[in-house]
A and B are shown apart, each in its own frame.
Chain A
Amino acid sequence: MRNTWRMVSVGVAAAFVISACSSGSSSGGDDDNDVNSSASPTETTAATGATSATSATTGDATPGEAVPASGELFAFGFGYDTGDIIAQTRVDEFREANPDVDLTFSEGGFDSQGFLSALASDDPPDLVNVPRNELGTYVARGVLAPLDECIATHGVNMDDFYEGASSQVIVDGTVYALPEFYNSRIWIFNDAAFEEAGLDPETIDVSDWDALADASVALTRMEDGKVTRLGLDPKLPEFLPIWAHANGVDLISDDGLTAQLDDPAVAEALEYGNSLYEPAGGLTDFLDFRDTWDFFGPGNQYATDQLGGMPMEQWYLNVLAEASPDLEITVRALETRDGEPFTYADGNSWAVTTSAANPEAACAFAASMVSVDSWVAAAQARDDERAESGAPNTGVYTGNAVADEIIFNDIVDLSDQPVFEAAVEVVLDIQQYGFGTPPSPASAEFKAAWEEAANQVLNGEDAAQSLATAQAEAQDAIDSAER
């Protein structure tokens, strides 16, 4: 039982890195909890007292009939035994409140292949930890259950969640999942590189694409024809939605039914992003260099001055704070070309399957995992852990704005880490301006289509033409999934 998979359970979704990184330092911290057995009788009785206490304070809205759930519950796509304290604390909170639930996890991160095959098996999961960006596909396939009733029962207030998160889980006015983490993107600049290039990371106009392009050139360092420092990394194809949004257009309409890949602004954004690779000698030299980085370690690209700056998920601050706490970096909000700050947000969410044998408990679990109490307890637990190890705590970024407020006001204290304190402030400011990819019935195909087009453009093909092909493919896929 102890041999559960720790590394892999941190899934594809960016949220996992928080656990990966936190477990990096505490990786020895094995827990002795046996995921596959129900709580022992003594624990059960001991925890009953806590049950009422927790349910009384759960949620801000009036909790409905928050009767403790019971029965067997199987959750897919979530690793409990990862040594990740954020995951464990919240699960433990639920276990305490619902001692009669026999909870098991698949112990792997979410992957569509495993999920579909689990659904087809004799023992389908009751609930799933699914990336919000992929949710639409499963809703369209009819494998996820509407949560409206669940929300009412457990007094979940959808307004507690960031708009950028809740909009991703509501399809046609029906809630299909509860947002978990909230990964927003910001610019992370390398101060030393900027200084050397005669630039000021605090004041550079990130809404001015010409200025960014110039900066990218100035920040790039070549030695003997080989790039040794990349200027600005546009992170294509992955971040195409960001560049397009900055250029005034989203890749897909708000209802998730119309692809907008053939908008000239998308082509322009793609071509612009692509041009940022040029100073390094082209995309392939750029990527070949980037592939050699020690991304998670003390030899990371900021510490070793291998990068000028890039847009990045905010959890990466946590990585940097732990790997190289003395780093000099500047964090800036993303801005549209009109100068409006924004961020692109995603993360996982909890959804209940239509094949759930125990939908009540599944709903209770989902609601509990994203509740304010649960998040606050987890953030506190991590803070205690970090205090012990002496590493700075840059916080947990949840989809729940109410929880975030408590966490960052009352728990996270970075006053002795001014660099990271400033960084976190930028992140907090930007979260409200987050936009997420709207749920689409063919989200996987849609993403594949634009990624493919972006890859083609990066490899030298015509942007307008590749995007037109992708547009046709994506729209086809959406239409046939919608039927």
Chain B
Amino acid sequence: MSTTTKGKRSGFHLTSAQNRRLWITIFLAPWFIGFIIFLAGPMLWSLWLSLTNYDPLVPNTAFVGLDNYREAVADPKVQTSLFNTVFFAVIYVPGTLLSGLGLAMLLQGVGERSGGFFRTVFYVPNVAPAVAVGALFLLLLNGRDGLVNRGLEFIGIQGPSWLNDSRWIKPGIIAMMMWSVGTTVIIFYASLQNVPKQLYEAAAIDGATGWQRFRNVTLPMISGSIFFVLVINSIASLQLFTEVYAMFFGQQPSGAGSEAALFYVIYLFQQAFEFFNMGYASALAWLLFGVIGVITFIQVKTSKRWVYYEGE
């Protein structure tokens, strides 16, 4: 039995139960260590920092209570960045949901074999590194000769100045992010494939129209995926950073994007690493955590009303 393995550990003897416990510990050890060093520990540390005026270059760190949070709430940049972020999320999340679902249904109509191919094609933009996507769209979105506006001109529309007009910067960013809708398409496509065919057949026999079938069969059957996409994309969109930072921030010269494209995590990053106001930035991080928590909580709570789980 299991005694053979213990032969190596001459000197002391493990019972089978002890041996089992030892192995459980070994298997889970990476997670425990990582959890303490890279998750729980940092979170507590960050919570503490948010109550201080910590700056790595200043030797005396003082406890300032909730001052950072108070300052953040009154900070006009926080308001700007929060507005930008919410603006983005409110359009991007439903936009991805709808277009992702639309494209997935389009793929379903192609038949399974080719559907798989086009699914791959639709996913290709997601393969490009975010920073390269940012660089690419700096070129594509040029208001004069960019590919996007050339395309629009082709169908008779004069495109706006996506990079220099503060009113059009966020729409341009939304368009850029929607280009990577492929992930959502894949999730919905997989989910659509799993809808039992009999349900459609049964609905057809009952004389249901296309819309009714969609409304009464498809939607409930994929509501779990919709919910999942909704939650994941909401969280991700509130943390939008890389593409936009690559385009408008870092050592890029100041322009209309400095304000119109200032998203929350970008401002947080600036405070933390460009100005080294780490106490304040920690407070910003926890505020974000709070906002994401509340939004996710609401989504989970309301989901009970419309998400259909098999077996319930």
B223 close to A (CB within 8 Å): no
A451 touches B254 (CB 8 A): yes
A291 close to B (CB within 8 Å): yes
A116 touches B57 (CB 8 A): yes
B274 close to A (CB within 8 Å): yes
- Contacts of A455 on B, CB cut-off 8 Å? 166, 254-256, 258-259
Please measure, in the bound complex, the distance between the C-alpha atom of A113 and the C-alpha atom of B145, giving whole angstroms: 34
Please measure, in the bound complex, the distance between the C-alpha atom of A21 and the C-alpha atom of B90, giving whole angstroms: 46
Partner of A285, one of B161, B163, B167: B161
A117 touches B145 (CB 8 A): no
- B200: shortest Cβ distance to chain A, in Å? 50
Please measure, in the bound complex, the distance between the C-alpha atom of A458 and the C-alpha atom of B165, giving whole angstroms: 9
B163 touches A288 (CB 8 A): yes
- A406: shortest Cβ distance to chain B, in Å? 34
- A142: shortest Cβ distance to chain B, in Å? 8
- A222: shortest Cβ distance to chain B, in Å? 13
B144 touches A458 (CB 8 A): no
B276 touches A116 (CB 8 A): yes
Please measure, in the bound complex, the distance between the C-alpha atom of A284 and the C-alpha atom of B144, giving whole angstroms: 9
Give the residue name and chain of the B residue nearest to A287 (CB). B164
Partner of A289, one of B144, B165, B254: B144
A237 touches B57 (CB 8 A): no
**Dominant SS at the A interface?**
helix
- Contacts of B143 on A, CB cut-off 8 Å? 284-285, 287-288
Interface code A134-146, partner B: CB below 8 Å = 1, 0 otherwise?
A: 0000000111000
Interface code A290-323, partner B: CB below 8 Å = 1, 0 otherwise?
A: 0110000000000000000000000000000000
A456 touches B259 (CB 8 A): yes
- Contacts of A141 on B, CB cut-off 8 Å? 57-58
A284 touches B165 (CB 8 A): yes
- Contacts of B256 on A, CB cut-off 8 Å? 455, 458-459
Restricting to A110-145, which residues have a CB under 8 Å from any CB of B?
A: 111-113, 116-117, 119-120, 141-143
Give the residue name and chain of the B residue nearest to A355 (CB). B57
Restricting to B255-284, which residues have a CB under 8 Å from any CB of A?
A: 255-256, 258-259, 273-276
- Contacts of A285 on B, CB cut-off 8 Å? 143-144, 161
- Contacts of B57 on A, CB cut-off 8 Å? 116, 119-120, 141-143
A120 touches B253 (CB 8 A): no
How many residues on B have C-beta within 8 angstroms of the other chain's C-beta atoms?
26
A414 close to B (CB within 8 Å): no
A111 touches B251 (CB 8 A): yes
B164 touches A284 (CB 8 A): yes
Please measure, in the bound complex, the distance between the C-alpha atom of A114 and the C-alpha atom of B271, giving whole angstroms: 14
Please measure, in the bound complex, the distance between the C-alpha atom of A452 and the C-alpha atom of B258, giving whole angstroms: 8
Please measure, in the bound complex, the distance between the C-alpha atom of A434 and the C-alpha atom of B259, giving whole angstroms: 31
A283 touches B142 (CB 8 A): no
B144 touches A291 (CB 8 A): yes
Partner of A238, one of B56, B58, B253: B253
Restricting to B229-253, which residues have a CB under 8 Å from any CB of A?
A: 251, 253
Interface code A164-201, partner B: CB below 8 Å = 1, 0 otherwise?
A: 00000000000000000000000000000000000000
- A348: shortest Cβ distance to chain B, in Å? 14
A444 touches B255 (CB 8 A): no
Give the residue name and chain of the B residue nearest to A119 (CB). B57
B142 touches A451 (CB 8 A): no
B56 touches A116 (CB 8 A): yes
Interface code A431-454, partner B: CB below 8 Å = 1, 0 otherwise?
A: 000000000000010001001100
Restricting to B201-223, which residues have a CB under 8 Å from any CB of A?
A: none
10 A-B pairs with CB atoms under 8 Å apart are A111-B251, A112-B275, A113-B274, A226-B144, A285-B161, A291-B163, A452-B258, A452-B259, A455-B255, A459-B256
**A positions within 8 Å CB-CB of B:** 12, 111-113, 116-117, 119-120, 141-143, 226, 237-238, 283-285, 287-289, 291-292, 444, 448, 451-452, 455-456, 458-459, 473
Question: Would you list the 3 A-B pairs with minimal beta carbon distance, nearest first?
Answer: A284-B161, A288-B143, A288-B144
Besides A116-B273, A452-B259, 18 other CB < 8 A contacts? Answer: A120-B56, A237-B255, A238-B253, A284-B160, A287-B143, A287-B161, A288-B143, A288-B164, A289-B144, A291-B163, A292-B142, A292-B145, A444-B275, A448-B254, A451-B258, A455-B256, A455-B258, A455-B259
